[in-house]
Amino acid sequence: MELWQLREIVLKALQEDLPFGDKTTEFLIPQNLFGRAYFLAKSDLVICGEPIVELVFHEIDPSVKITWLYSEGAEVPKKSKIGFAEGRVSSLLKAERVALNFLQHLSGIATTVRRLIKFLPEKPLLLDTRKTLPGLKILQKYAVRIGGAKNHRFSLSDGILIKDNHLKALGGLEKVLDKLKNLPHYLKVEIEVKNLSELEIILKSEAQVDIVMLDNFSLEDLKKAISLIRSQKPNLKIEISGGITEENLKDYIQFDVDFISSGALTHSVKASDISFKIEEIWEE
């Protein structure tokens, strides 16, 4: 992640939360009041988001000092202090909610991913998807990496992934495969298939296909599809996707595939429970 990208996200978030200042803090809290506060893990978690938390506080007040007790990506036990923020109390209060929103959400993603990674064998690789919140994709995919999984495409510019609507728009799989004959050799191609019939068309084709995505296949059909691919085109990589969650992942690790992708890594994780508590106050 580039600093300018993070700063752009932070500035938008602060503008949302402080469009005309913090009325409560500005009315009640004197500028000569200083304090020290801590971030508290209220559940076991993988900490993620420290760089952006620091940026939030420093955009509010560059003099705020942030000290972390756990490094980015560390596993933090419940009831542990994660780190401290020290500076003007008014600055701590203004930055608190935005900083926590980022920290809780990103730690929630990293925590979920780490739990799944420990459950998976070395192969297949666990991938995210483009099912991210607009404006937060760069952070959510960063949290996936901190958790230990890999990123699928970041954007539509990153590769050719032919899905059901592409097939519909072009009149079917055969016509799409025909178009691939003119594809530059250096581009990788992935095609999503919905059933065994579509898979058989790909297996019979001479078109360049590098990865086939078996999307929303039943467990029975997955077994058949993987057997066909491994016997007929052993170099064709296999990705399985569609409705894969933490609850049903165990049903899929039995299969000999290269990738498992899940939108649930980013679009429906529960935020980690983290609080921010002032523990010391003084005047200067």
**Can 97 be counted among the known catalytic residues?**
yes
Joined together, the tokens standing for residue 277 give 């508590």
Chain centroid to CA 259: how far? 16
Q: Which residues pair with 45 in a beta bridge?
A: 76
Among 231, 283, 233, 274, CA closest to 108: 274
| 114 assigned to a ligand binding site | no
Joined together, the tokens standing for residue 218 give 């039943």
Q: Which of 22, 54, 190, 192 is catalytic?
A: 192
| 241 assigned to a ligand binding site | yes
Q: Which of 36, 81, 97, 188 is catalytic?
A: 97
Q: Which of 36, 131, 145, 194 is catalytic?
A: 131
| 215 assigned to a ligand binding site | yes
| 153 assigned to a ligand binding site | yes
Q: At what angle do helices 137-147 and 3-17 cross, to 10 degrees?
A: 120
Q: Which of 50, 128, 198, 215 is catalytic?
A: 215
| 223 assigned to a ligand binding site | no
| 256 assigned to a ligand binding site | no
| 230 assigned to a ligand binding site | no
| 147 assigned to a ligand binding site | no
Joined together, the tokens standing for residue 111 give 């925590």
**Can 224 be counted among the known catalytic residues?**
no
**Can 230 be counted among the known catalytic residues?**
no
Annotate the chain with three-state secondary structure.
CCHHHHHHHHHHHHHHHCECECHHHHHHCCCCEEEEEEEEECCCEECCCHHHHHHHHHHHCCCCEEEECCCCCCEECCCCEEEEEEEEHHHHHHHHHHHHHHHHHHHHHHHHHHHHHHHCCCCCEEECCCCCCCCCHHHHHHHHHHHCCECCCCCHHHCEEECHHHHHHHCCHHHHHHHHHHCCCCCCEEEEECCHHHHHHHHHCCCCCCEEEEECCCHHHHHHHHHHHHHHCCCCEEEEECCCCCCCHHHCCCCCCCEEECCHHHHCCCCCCEEEEEEEEEEC
| 242 assigned to a ligand binding site | yes
| 262 assigned to a ligand binding site | yes
Q: Which of 36, 81, 163, 223 is catalytic?
A: 163
Q: Which residues are catalytic?
A: 97, 131, 163, 192, 215
Q: Which residues are annotated as a binding site?
A: 97, 129-131, 153, 163, 192, 215, 241-243, 262-264
Q: Which residues are annotated as a binding site for substrate?
A: 97, 129-131, 153, 163, 192, 215, 241-243, 262-264
